[in-house]
């Protein structure tokens, strides 16, 4: 496995800290790391609220990347409470497709870090509803 995945795992692990923020908000149960094409790693955690104000760790990390002036995703990894289940949800996949409609299929996704199972987003999302 490419050592960049270990760096991404370590970056996600560093922010992976489940905690309760208030009676209505928890966060950090899932942590994600996104590698941009420039080689920088951006992290994000999930934020869960009693309504729909929260965000997935992956999208939070992607927004962090966008906030910092980048827009090309190379790899995505997340640490979830369910080992071996590190795939992005439909909303996160959709965001990646919309950000990179011409090349999203090449984004690499770490589905299972322990077993080094890596797939391309094009395998998870072979056909896009707009394209």
Among 33, 76, 79, 92, indicate the residue that binds Zn ion (CB under 5 A): 92
The smaller minimum CB distance to Zn ion, of residues 92 and 111, is found at 92
Q: Residue 17, interface with Zn ion (CB under 5 A)?
A: no
**Binding of residue 56 to Zn ion (CB under 5 A):** yes
Q: Confirm or reject binding of residue 107 to Zn ion (CB under 5 A).
A: no
Q: In this structure, what token pair is assigned to residue 93? A: 């996949």
Q: Which is nearer to Zn ion, 2 or 84 (CB)?
A: 84
Task: Please identify, using beta-carbon distances, which residue of 1 and 129 lies nearer to Zn ion.
Answer: 129
**Using CA of residue 24, residue 16, residue 83, residue 66, what is the dihedral sign?**
positive
CA–CA separation, 80 and 31 (whole Å): 7
Question: Is 96 exposed, middle or buried, given 0-12, 13-18 or 19+ CB atoms closer than 10 A?
Answer: buried
**Binding positions for Zn ion, rule: CB under 5 A:** 56, 89, 92
């Amino acid at each position: 496995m490419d050592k960049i995945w270990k760096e991404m795992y370590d970056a996600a692990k560093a922010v992976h800290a489940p905690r309760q923020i208030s009676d209505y908000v928890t966060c950090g149960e899932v942590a994600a790391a996104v590698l941009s094409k420039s080689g920088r790693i951006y992290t994000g955690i999930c934020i869960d609220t009693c309504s729909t104000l929260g965000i997935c760790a992956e999208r939070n990390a992607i927004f962090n990347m966008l906030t910092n002036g980048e827009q090309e995703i190379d790899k995505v990894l997340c640490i979830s409470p369910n080992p071996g289940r590190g795939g992005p949800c439909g909303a996160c996949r959709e965001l990646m497709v919309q950000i990179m409609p011409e090349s999203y299929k090449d984004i690499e996704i770490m589905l299972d870090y322990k077993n080094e199972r890596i797939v391309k987003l094009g395998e998870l999302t072979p056909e896009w509803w707009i394209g």
